[in-house]
Amino acid sequence: MTNYLYDGVFAPHADSRKTFLYTADGEISFADFTALTDRIASLLVATGMAPGDRVAVQADKSVMLFALYAATVKAGGVYLPLNTGYTAAELDYFLGDAKPRIVVVSGKAEAAIAPIAERIGAALMTLDADESGSLRDAAMAHEGPFAAVPRGSEDLAAILYTSGTTGRSKGAKLCHRNLRSNAEVLRDYWRFTPDDVLLHMLPIYHTHGLFVASNLLALVGGSMIFLPKYAADVALEWMPKATTMMGVPTFYTRLLDHDGFTREASAHMRLFISGSAPLLAETHRQFEARTGKAILERYGMTETNMSTSNPFDGDRRAGTVGFALPGVDIRIADPQTGAPLPDGEIGIIEQRGDNVFLGYWEMPEKTAESFRDDGFFITGDMAVRDADGYISIVGRDKDLIISGGLNVYPKEVEGMIDAVEGVLESAVIGVPHRDFGEAVVAVIVRSDDALAAETVEAALADQLAKFKQPKAILFTDALPRNSMGKVQKAELRKAHDGLFS
């Protein structure tokens, strides 16, 4: 038996002298990366990690951190990256839940995490942004080559905790097949080749930066410009060397805000990909007007990897996430019964395929609730498919507003508000209301401070049914977003909970 993920994704180019990673400090070839991976893999095994053991990691992005992921997989372990924003109290829950054999944190977190690691019997190591720390010191005492530990397609490769906007965060179990198959599908769909150089400015604790971007470029033997975080001016400096970029929508709005972002500045780029949060149709249009290139929007989630994408060759339609990827079965279903709905009707996205995770870590009931009897995963994303087959996401099921017993999809109202002159963006939420159960409330960020609530009301008056029109319009300087650019509607709902009481 081989190591299904490592041998499929990392091994084909392992010995190549070609540059795999460009950083601000220099270049790392595939062979350098493999040598680093092998040292770390030897260390993990010497520390007592057995196949199937978890390696939990909260550390700043670096080449060594990326190699720790490859090493964990190669040594047969299960990689468990944690958002760098989590506090020690939050880590207490994740570590207690996942019971890793090894924990890696930054030097400054060591003291707070040490008692937790001791309680669960895990070895603790440190890794800082500059790659210093006990992980490096110990790994350098080991020599390669390291023979990959055999793992099958159904074995666990990673656990990623979902952002958990309601209730406890759940650990999504991803197997070797989930990750490798998705990288192979994306290579073909988006035409990635060894000539590609991806501008990588995403975090690597999330599916987007870790799997979508990194697995794909490793698989094809391309290169990545591997930078710690996003900044539009840094993106512009590197762009002449890159061929592609993957970003969350804010990457693109910030580029558009930058005067230096011109048609010439992006001339070397063959493909811009967006996902993880909805890209405004307006951003898509402005981007195309500025560069002559249409952003390719795709949709996926931690549990399902990538599921839909706009086409590479055909029309990349603003405001849509395109079609189901090859090998992904998608239906837009009645939320109650799971029965497929006709095109044009809003329902819940359900999917089945090699991309879909195995279930939630030690939560058999949650797992059972999340799958239909025929194996389809209930995503919680509401969407509609048009007559041409393009899918548009209209929001999360829990963001659906029920006002006076009638369903209001926030996206529809937001789309109309965003079209009003003087509006930069908006979020529409449901707020408890004595008469209506929930009342529609719009929170707006203005691009023109003179814009009045009455102007927005007047613009919606003859466009939207009365029950969909906001009962209150509030202005704010910025919408609350998480690190992947998703608007935090739960936070907004909490902030305005008492508006009508």
What does the per-residue mask of binding to ligand AMP show for 206-225, with x meaning CB under 6 A? -x------------------
SS3 of residue 158 by DSSP: strand
Report the Cα–Cα distance between both ends of the chain, in Å, rounded. 63
The set of residues, in sequence order, having a beta carbon less than 8 Å from that of 289 and lying 6+ positions away, is none
Residues 252-281 that bind ligand AMP (CB under 6 A): 275-278
Task: Give the contact letters, 316-335, x = binds to ligand AMP (CB under 6 A), - = no.
Answer: -----x--------------
Neighbour tally for 295: CB within 10 Å:
23
- Could you tell me which stretch among 58-66, 93-101, 293-301, 398-406 binds ligand AMP (CB under 6 A)? 293-301
Q: And the tokens for 306? A: 């990538």
The contacts of residue 350 (CB under 8 Å, 6+ apart) are 330, 331, 332, 333, 338, 372, 376, 377, 378, 379
Q: What angle do CA 486, 488, 490 make, to 5 degrees?
A: 145
Among the listed ranges 47-55, 58-66, 78-86, 298-306, the one in contact with ligand AMP (CB under 6 A) is 298-306
Q: Interface residues for ligand AMP in 379-418 (CB under 6 A)?
A: 379, 381, 393, 396
Positions in 434-473 near ligand AMP (CB under 6 A): none
Q: Which is nearer to ligand AMP, 234 or 281 (CB)?
A: 281
Measured in whole angstroms, the distance separating CA 231 from the mean position of its chain's CA atoms is 18
Of 2 and 482, the one with the shorter C-beta distance to ligand AMP is 482
CA angle 445, 446, 449 (to 5 degrees): 140
CB nearer to ligand AMP: pick between 190 and 436: 190
Residue 108 corresponds to which amino acid?
K
Among 155, 297, 414, 438, binds ligand AMP (CB under 6 A): 297
Q: How far apart are CA 349 and CA 234, in angstroms?
A: 37
- Give the number of other CB atoms < 10 A from CB of residue 10: 25
CB of 310 to ligand AMP, least distance (A): 9
Q: How far is the CB of 93 from ligand AMP (least distance, A)?
A: 18
- State the nearest-atom distance from the C-beta of 68 to ligand AMP, in Å: 21
Q: How far is the CB of 168 from ligand AMP (least distance, A)?
A: 15
CB of 461 to ligand AMP, least distance (A): 28
Residue 299 in the binding site for ligand AMP (CB under 6 A): yes
Q: Which is nearer to ligand AMP, 29 or 163 (CB)?
A: 163
Q: Is the dihedral of CA 214, 217, 221, 224 positive or negative?
A: negative
User: Of 296, 324, 299, 300, which Cα lies nearest the Cα of 310?
Assistant: 296
Q: Among residues 133 and 322, whose Cβ is nearest to ligand AMP?
A: 322
Q: Where are the alpha helices (DSSP H) in 381-501?
A: 410-418, 453-461, 489-495
Among residue numbers 344 through 383, which ones bind ligand AMP (CB under 6 A)? 379, 381
Contact predicate 255/207, CB 8 Å = no
| Token pair belonging to 7 | 């041998």
236 lies in the binding site for ligand AMP (CB under 6 A) = no
Q: How far is the CB of 235 from ligand AMP (least distance, A)?
A: 20
Q: Which of 23, 47, 162, 476 binds ligand AMP (CB under 6 A)?
A: 162
163 binds ligand AMP (CB under 6 A): yes
Asked if residues 221 and 23 have their Cβ atoms less than 8 Å apart, the reply is no
Binders of ligand AMP: how many residues, by CB under 6 A?
18
Distances (CA, A) of 335 to 164, 409, 489: 20, 14, 21
Residues that bind ligand AMP (CB under 6 A): 162-163, 207, 275-278, 297, 299-302, 321, 379, 381, 393, 396, 484
